[in-house]
Structure 1
Amino acid sequence: MDPLAVLRDYAARGDLDKIIFNGDDVLFGDDYTFPANVPTAFTSKQSGRPYPLSAADAVPSATGRHEPSATAAAALANPKLDKSLGDGFVPIILVPSASQTLITIYNVKDFLEDFVFVPSDEKMRAMKGSPKPECVTLQKKHVRGAGGPVAFEVRDKPASLKADDWARVVAVFVLGKEWQFKDWPFKGHVDIFNKGLPF
């Protein structure tokens, strides 16, 4: 069994609180135990070596020691994650703020709700000078585990998110550019993508 597949499964079920980093081992409830140093499919750009499973809990600090991200830990510990979809829990999807990207705050609703791609510049022209929306709400009718339609908030300004809001981020559209992550409370790419955000 692939440890990242197990991690994704626990995240999807909302069981991240059952994952225990215990020295040399990572315990997934009573189901699985993996060595903390087991290599994953994610590799470091600098060294080219795979990140170990333990990178899901900590990232290197400036001192070289591994320290957990307090913001990411708070997001994972948030009890809102235990709420079922549609029960007052409104998930957040982040998109890039750059207008030249394929998916933006302007066209994300058409893309995710209706499965139709409309170029952002067409949507901007259709708005005829209206201000850029701060948040777009979309409805998904068929979401696994939900009893009905689920509303999602889509935002493109991570700096406007409060600490509690980061616990609601369920997906991120990324460019792969460093500037996109500058207003995020996480220390690096490993922290961002291994702390219960998107998979």
Structure 2
Amino acid sequence: MADSDPLILLREAIKTQGPYHPTASSDPASPRVELAQATHLAFPTRGIALPIATPTRFISNDKPFDLRSIYFAWLNRDQLIPQYNAEATALNESLGDKGKVQNLGYIEKLDLITWLEGAESEYIVPLAGGEAAAAGGEAATAKAGAAASTARAGKGTLDPRLASVYNGERKMGDRNTVLRGIKPTDFSHVRKLATPFLTKKSQSAPISTTANPTTSVSSKVSGRRPDPIILLSPSASALLRLNNIRSFLQDGRFTPADTAASTASMLHVQRSMPSIDPNRPLRFILVEGPEQFKPEYWNRVVAVFTTGQTWQFKNYKWSSPNELFKHVLGVYVGWRGDAPPDNVKDWGHRVVSTAVDRWRGDGHDASRFRDKEITEQIWKAIETAMVHKGWRKDAAPSSI
């Protein structure tokens, strides 16, 4: 049930800042213990203590992660991947034969943390039968009713005539309770009725002849579209690094990379791209290297920022720049007035070469008016390349 689902309980506790802690007992009121000694995760305000080894709906590589691994990932949400892995190894040694923390890749970890903070997830399997929607609708209705009752009552006694009016009110529900009622409805029989029509349609569908015949779009109908990835150059000479790329791509303002310290191993920015999805912005993941990549992540890479140094591509799927930029858009950002490196010129039109005004120091914001123009030029090139590669409103390329 939704009210005892470990992921929903943990997400609600984080949102409401309610108490939750590991314990060595099934009693929700039992005291906190170290995670290595815990047998349960307690939610005292809900009167629930779930076994720490309970499998959850967070699935990666067809394997569900247990509650201990999810809780551990949340505790270490600000850790870099090497530190996170070291903490997981130390905890596994302390656990011995009592269990094991399952390691998360950094894309999965980011996905889980953002879901616990209120976003969507491509790794969490929805509750069966719409239980989550029904539970959410009932909770929202009850909360609204309680708030209205408190507002009407005020500090004094409610006027009897006004009370009679309120008693005659028609109680309204939200869209979930109106459409589904108080019990989840099973629509699985509809799938059997629709199968002949879907099969006939797939057999008669014309073969697509696009400009890039090697690009195929994922046939996955359900589920969340994966986030596109942008790779940055790890070179110390790069003008754009993790600590200044967000202000440039999201706000259209350049600041030197050495003016702000950053310990983040990845960032994400949002950008509206009407030609791909006119209704909602796309979320882009920004990283400086592919060391933690799984093979399928390369199909999500939409741009590579480079300084023209070929050592950057040593660990890439395509280590040859000429081959790399046949699959992925390249972006070079230098100083205005300086000629691009010879390597960038040799790579041709597959690398967008741009330049920003030199940094004159704080207090010279008026001279940065052209930064926005360069930012828009880069985003336009990325959007055009994504459309060409097969990014759609509800799907991403299965190969690039």
Shorter-normalised TM range: 0.5 to 0.7
Structure with more of its chain in helix, by fraction: 2
| Residue identity in the other structure for 1:110 | S
Aligned to 1:105: 242
Percent identity over the alignment is 26
Distance 2:326 2:242 in 1: 25
Aligned to 2:258: 121
Instruction: Note closer, same or farther for the CA distance 1:141–1:190 as it changes in structure 2 (3 Å cut).
Output: same
Conserved in 2, the CA contact under 8 Å of 1:96 and 1:174? yes
Aligned to 1:139: 270
Aligned to 1:159: 291
Distance 1:170 1:31 in 2: 19
Aligned to 1:79: 218
1:148 counterpart = 2:280: yes
The CA deviation at 1:185 is: 1.5
Structure with more of its chain in strand, by fraction: 1
* TM value normalised by structure 1: 0.53
- Superposition CA RMSD, Å: 3.1
Distance 1:91 1:31 in 2: 21
Off by >4 Å, runs of 4+ in structure 1: 29-32
1:179 counterpart = 2:311: yes
Instruction: Note closer, same or farther for the CA distance 1:172–1:178 as it changes in structure 2 (3 Å cut).
Output: same
SS at match of 1:172: strand
Distance 1:174 1:136 in 2: 18
The CA deviation at 1:79 is: 2.4
Deviations 1:137-178 (A, max 9, x none): 111134532121111000001222211110000011111111
* TM value normalised by structure 2: 0.27
SS at match of 1:97: coil
Tell me, which stretches of 5 or more residues in structure 2 are unaligned? Answer: 1-207, 330-349, 351-400
Conserved in 1, the CA contact under 8 Å of 2:313 and 2:319? no
| Residue identity in the other structure for 2:313 | F
Instruction: Note closer, same or farther for the CA distance 1:100–1:143 as it changes in structure 2 (3 Å cut).
Output: farther
Distance 1:99 1:162 in 2: 26
Distance 2:310 2:232 in 1: 14
Decide which structure has the larger Cα Rg and report it: 2
The CA deviation at 1:96 is: 0.5
Instruction: Note closer, same or farther for the CA distance 1:148–1:95 as it changes in structure 2 (3 Å cut).
Output: same
